[in-house]
Chain A
Amino acid sequence: MVRGEQQTSPWVWEAKDYLERVIRITVTFNEGTRAITGVTGFRDSGCLYTKILIGTSADGVPDDTDKVVNVPTGTTSLTQGQINQLAARGLATIENILALQITAGR
């Protein structure tokens, strides 16, 4: 996609540690309703980052956010219940996610 275009499904975000080991999140969503339909995490073995931090706490600290996706080594898909939990915390659509900062934590 290019500047100004609306995000299409899937949306992918990743970070690398100092040895270039990857942690990644892939979010699928309904391009019409923009509702999140799936969340999958991937993490290289040994990657120092273990979780995706979406948003911050009230004092601006990402580690204190309540919107956390823990990512074990390998590929992990969130259950519908976990997706619903994220939705309950304000992440129901892709724009909900894109509106917040994203980083990875240990």
Chain B
Amino acid sequence: MAPVVDAASPAIATNTTSANLTTGSFNPPACLLVVELGGDGAGNMTPTISNNGTALTWSNRSERDLGDAGAQSGHSSIHTAELTSGRTGMTVTAALSGTGAGAKALKVYCVTGYDSADPVGNAPGEGSSTTNSITPTIISAVESANSLLFVVANDWNQLGTPASSDLTIDTYNISGSISGLMGRKAGPGSAGSSATANLDAAGSSAPAWNWASVEIEPAGGTTFNQSVAGTVTPAGAVVRQPGKALAGSTTPAGALLRTAGKALAGAVTPAGALTRQVAKVLAGTVTPAGVLAVVKAVLRSFTGSLTPAGVLARRPGKALGGAVAPSGAAARSTAKTFAGAVSPAGALATIKAVLRSFAGTVTPSGALVRQAGKQLASSTTPAGTLVRRAAKTLSGALTPAGALGTVKAVLRSFAGSVAPAGVLGRRVGKALTGAVAPTAVVVKLLARTLAGTVAAAGALAKQQTKTFTGAVGPAGGVAAAVVATPPPSVVPRPNTGTVTRPDSGVVHRPFTGTVTRP
């Protein structure tokens, strides 16, 4: 981790004279104190840093003034001292002596997270320039990645309050004397790299820059910033990853607990169960190997509003391209459209199928109890009793194997209405090609056309008018009179003897003897 500037750092302090300059009091933690000093002077200046209370050991890390070849007038220097334990009410004082010593600016930084064994890099920098805005190399080769760089730049021409495009700075502009900046920036990401900093004087005139710089090393260990270009294969669970863009595929071995806002270009193949997935856009396929325990999927890709007129209980829409073969019972199936065949292996316990594909409305006038319409192309051979049959159209034969227990068949195939004038008791019209042989008394009236013989075994209780071509031979008594009107050509034949047909009147046939027809 890179060193950081602590909040306890005191404010910049300035003066316009050669007198000592002291910071306001501050309460630093254990830290590295880094002091930047800018000052007026026209020679080889001597800076001195001190503090109140127990004296610390101050080290002059980098300095630039006319004591250096090629330098400008004015003074810049950086000093450090290690504070091994925190203090309260601390102050730091700077003195600057030498030719033309005068106004000064003092800034103290409390720096934590530094390398206590080797806090300062081994290549401090310094330089001078008269270029108004310059970006010089302040460290030729940083010793560590993630170090913190400090720069102080003094303008002896006092063009005004300067600026910088890449430093975090405090500035000073001391009337009629000097102006300058005191700043810091993060070091480059890799050891051995050079570091620059921008110094931008006020206005456009030529300044008199003198600058000094140091590198503060990070605490022990090496921190690397690594860019991953290949695939990411976490061995553990991905707990939280917001806003991570991946170019390769992702194959977590553990369960995905929470994934929000993840855009993937490759396929996602989780080995564990998907517990929650919100707002995931995939370009490839999703093939979960585990069971989907609870699926709450909300797909919304329309621009208009959705206003159902009825109640939406639960309608999952599933589009299938292949066949669906559930091994268990299909408990609930609503609005399922498929192109292949459906072959349930188990029994359908409860089927409630509502098919509605018409444009108009259905308004039944009567109650719809239960109507199932089934069209059969081949024959139907029920093995058991038909209890209820309604509206069944058969093109083949109907051959019941068992007895018809109760048959209520209503056949209605006419266009008009049926309005019987009398009471319909029960009339069964049966067309028979074979013989009819009732064993019991015929109690009801029958209108029957026979092609064969009638052989009643019991008594005839009611009168019958019967026209027949064959003989009548009742075995029992004839209760009712039998009126027969033989055709004139017919002569009753006595049992014995001769019968002479009378010209008129009735001839009664004796049982015995003869009859002479008058």
Which residues on the A side are within 8 Å of B158 (C-beta)?
A: 1-3
Contact B176 A4 (CB under 8 A): yes
A-B contact pairs, 15 of them (CB 8 A): A1-B160, A2-B159, A3-B178, A15-B11, A15-B12, A17-B7, A17-B9, A19-B7, A99-B16, A101-B13, A101-B15, A102-B15, A103-B14, A104-B24, A106-B26
Q: Mark B85-102, 1 if CB is under 8 A from A, else 0.
A: 000000101000000000
Closest chain B residue to A14, Cβ basis:
B171
Which residues on the A side are within 8 Å of B7 (C-beta)?
A: 17-19, 48
The reply on B156 being an interface residue by CB < 8 A is yes
Closest chain A residue to B74, Cβ basis:
A3
Q: State in angstroms the CA–CA spacing of A37 and B345 once bound together.
A: 99
* B112, chain A: closest CB distance, angstroms: 11
Q: A17 contacts which of B11, B15, B25 (Cβ < 8 Å)?
A: B11
Contact A101 B11 (CB under 8 A): no
The reply on B177 being an interface residue by CB < 8 A is yes
Which residues on the A side are within 8 Å of B178 (C-beta)?
A: 3
The reply on A78 being an interface residue by CB < 8 A is no
Contact A106 B13 (CB under 8 A): no
The reply on B216 being an interface residue by CB < 8 A is no
* Band of interface residues on B: 35 or more
Closest chain A residue to B178, Cβ basis:
A3
The reply on A79 being an interface residue by CB < 8 A is no
Which residues on the A side are within 8 Å of B6 (C-beta)?
A: 18
* A27, chain B: closest CB distance, angstroms: 11
The list of the 10 closest CB pairs from A to B, nearest first, reads A104-B11, A103-B13, A101-B15, A15-B11, A7-B175, A105-B24, A3-B158, A103-B24, A62-B24, A63-B25
Which residues on the A side are within 8 Å of B15 (C-beta)?
A: 100-102
Q: State in angstroms the CA–CA spacing of A8 and B159 once bound together.
A: 14
Closest chain A residue to B158, Cβ basis:
A3
Given contacts A1-B176, A62-B91, A63-B24, 8 further A-B pairs with CB under 8 A are A1-B175, A3-B178, A6-B176, A16-B11, A16-B12, A18-B7, A61-B22, A103-B11
The reply on B20 being an interface residue by CB < 8 A is yes
Q: State in angstroms the CA–CA spacing of A104 and B6 once bound together.
A: 17
Inter-chain CB contacts under 8 Å: number: 89
The reply on B198 being an interface residue by CB < 8 A is no
* A96, chain B: closest CB distance, angstroms: 11
**Which residues from 273 to 289 on chain B have a C-beta closer than 8 Å to any C-beta of chain A?**
none
Q: Mark A88-106, 1 if CB is under 8 A from B, else 0.
A: 0000000000111111111
Which residues on the B side are within 8 Å of A98 (C-beta)?
A: 16, 175
Contact A3 B22 (CB under 8 A): no
* A71, chain B: closest CB distance, angstroms: 12
Q: How many residues of A contact B (CB 8 A)?
A: 34
- Given A18-B5, A105-B11, do A99 and B176 touch, yes or no (CB 8 Å)? no
Q: B176 contacts which of A5, A14, A102 (Cβ < 8 Å)?
A: A5
Which residues on the A side are within 8 Å of B93 (C-beta)?
A: 60
* B160, chain A: closest CB distance, angstroms: 7
The reply on A49 being an interface residue by CB < 8 A is yes
- Listed in ascending order, the chain A residues whose CB lies under 8 Å from chain B are 1-7, 11, 13-20, 23, 48-49, 53, 56, 60-63, 98-106
- Given A53-B24, A105-B11, do A16 and B176 touch, yes or no (CB 8 Å)? no
The reply on B170 being an interface residue by CB < 8 A is yes
Q: State in angstroms the CA–CA spacing of A20 and B167 once bound together.
A: 12
Central interface residue in A1, A13, A23, by most chain B CB within 10 Å: A1
Q: State in angstroms the CA–CA spacing of A99 and B177 once bound together.
A: 12
**Which residues from 11 to 63 on chain B have a C-beta closer than 8 Å to any C-beta of chain A?**
11-17, 19-26
* B73, chain A: closest CB distance, angstroms: 9
* A72, chain B: closest CB distance, angstroms: 17
Q: Mark B167-209, 1 if CB is under 8 A from A, else 0.
A: 0101100011110000000000000000000000000010000
Which residues on the B side are within 8 Å of A6 (C-beta)?
A: 175-176
Q: B20 contacts which of A1, A2, A60, A63 (Cβ < 8 Å)?
A: A60
Closest chain A residue to B52, Cβ basis:
A61
Q: State in angstroms the CA–CA spacing of A60 and B159 once bound together.
A: 30
Q: State in angstroms the CA–CA spacing of A3 and B15 once bound together.
A: 15
Which residues on the B side are within 8 Å of A5 (C-beta)?
A: 175-176
* A17, chain B: closest CB distance, angstroms: 7
Q: A62 contacts which of B22, B171, B175 (Cβ < 8 Å)?
A: B22
Q: State in angstroms the CA–CA spacing of A3 and B247 once bound together.
A: 58
Closest chain A residue to B109, Cβ basis:
A18
Contact A18 B24 (CB under 8 A): no
The reply on B10 being an interface residue by CB < 8 A is yes
Which residues on the A side are within 8 Å of B176 (C-beta)?
A: 1, 3-7
* B38, chain A: closest CB distance, angstroms: 14
Closest chain B residue to A47, Cβ basis:
B11
Contact B157 A61 (CB under 8 A): no
Which residues on the A side are within 8 Å of B17 (C-beta)?
A: 99
* A36, chain B: closest CB distance, angstroms: 14
Q: State in angstroms the CA–CA spacing of A53 and B340 once bound together.
A: 87
Q: State in angstroms the CA–CA spacing of A62 and B20 once bound together.
A: 12
Contact A11 B11 (CB under 8 A): no
Which residues on the B side are within 8 Å of A16 (C-beta)?
A: 11-12, 170
Contact B10 A101 (CB under 8 A): no
Q: State in angstroms the CA–CA spacing of A19 and B8 once bound together.
A: 11
Central interface residue in B16, B20, B91, by most chain A CB within 10 Å: B16
Q: State in angstroms the CA–CA spacing of A21 and B21 once bound together.
A: 23
Contact B11 A3 (CB under 8 A): no
